[in-house]
Amino acid sequence: MIPPRKNAAYWESGHPRNAAVAACRTQGRKAWKQEVGYHRRSLAETAVYRFKQLIGPRLRARNKANQAAEVYAAIAAINYMNTLGMPVRA
């Protein structure tokens, strides 16, 4: 679930977003994010974004086994680049 804005209003009665808005108002956004595991989701989305930026949004292989091998090779390359360290901006 995407966290509601600071000034979020309630939607129609019975909408699941209302529970998130109420929780953010009572316990705060940071505690709500911890409770629902938002940070893990954010990390996963960042990893997928990084994969698509470095490798590309499409697989080149046509069958399932070769697609899996292609993804494993791409992940190994990204993991190796991560071990070298993050680039430093001047």
Q: Residue 62: what pLDDT?
A: 95
SS (H, E, C) the chain: CCCCCCCCCCCCCCCCHHHHHHHHHHHCHHHHHHHHCHHHHHHHHHHHHHHHHHCCCCCCCCCHHHHHHHHHHHHHHHHHHHHHCCCCCC
Cα–Cα dist 70/59, whole Å: 7
pLDDT at 1 over 80: no
pLDDT tens digit sequence for 9-62: 999 998 988 988 999 899 988 898 888 888 888 888 888 998 999 899 999 999
Tell me the CA distances in angstroms from 50 to 15, 46, 61, 63, 83, one per residue in order.
33, 6, 20, 24, 15
Q: How confident is the model at residue 6 (pLDDT cuts 50, 70, 90)?
A: confident
pTM value? 0.56
Q: For residue 83, what pLDDT band results from cuts at 50, 70 and 90? A: confident
Predicted pLDDT of residue 90: 66
